Structure 1
């Protein structure tokens, strides 16, 4: 059985490394991107089973990533969005654009793993 592929878009390198370590330990193949532009390139190249994206990123925001995936690529791939607290408007916009799940920062990597398993099984 091939590994499930995840594209992670997160500009915080410490958080990105932590999530990469945790998800790869669970058997997922992870493609990390430091901004939305790199994330879109990775999504188109790797055809992931799941996308995890921050909302606030350089160049292209997580909202633009969701919009591109849903409207330009016509993809139904599950998307988990995370963002700092106090951005309810952004969260609602993310769901309107087609996000499947949301987690506020800071969050538990164990909780993220449960949500990932639920969406890629």
Structure 2
């Protein structure tokens, strides 16, 4: 019997959420969706996920603030993958300096995302 793998996904784009849901559910992961940073913080606290996937640009708290919150306030080493349509070098470097484990540019390639999630779970 395998252990439940929980993933919190913080993304405000409903089409992308559906795509992520289809791709990750196939792998048997339990998914929790947040459409803004405030909801993301609540889900992370409540479910203590194995992986966090977060967009950079969100309402209330950005993906960068989510990374900082997980690393500095919750003191968790949960793998975090951030994604952004901006892909600006400064933002990507800031995400890594705050403790992100991986970065993907939008539009996301679902099979690549699943591969990267699996790699972070090793």
TM-score per shorter chain, which class?
A: over 0.9
- 5+ unaligned residues in a row in structure 2: which ranges? none
Asked if the contact 1:20/1:32 (under 8 Å) is kept, the reply is no
> Which structure 2 residues correspond to residues 1-121 of structure 1 after superposition, within 5 A?
1-121=2-122
CA RMSD of aligned residues (A): 0.9
TM-score (norm 2): 0.96
- 5+ unaligned residues in a row in structure 1: which ranges? none
| Distance in 2 of aligned mates of 1:86 and 1:31 | 25
**Match of 1:91, SS?**
helix
Alignment deviations for residues 57-110 of structure 1 (CA, whole Å, 9 cap, x no partner): 011100000000000000000000000144211111000000000000112100
Asked if the contact 1:63/1:94 (under 8 Å) is kept, the reply is yes
**Which runs of at least 4 in structure 1 moved beyond 2 Å after TM superposition?**
none
| Distance in 2 of aligned mates of 1:72 and 1:112 | 27
Aligned positions, number: 121
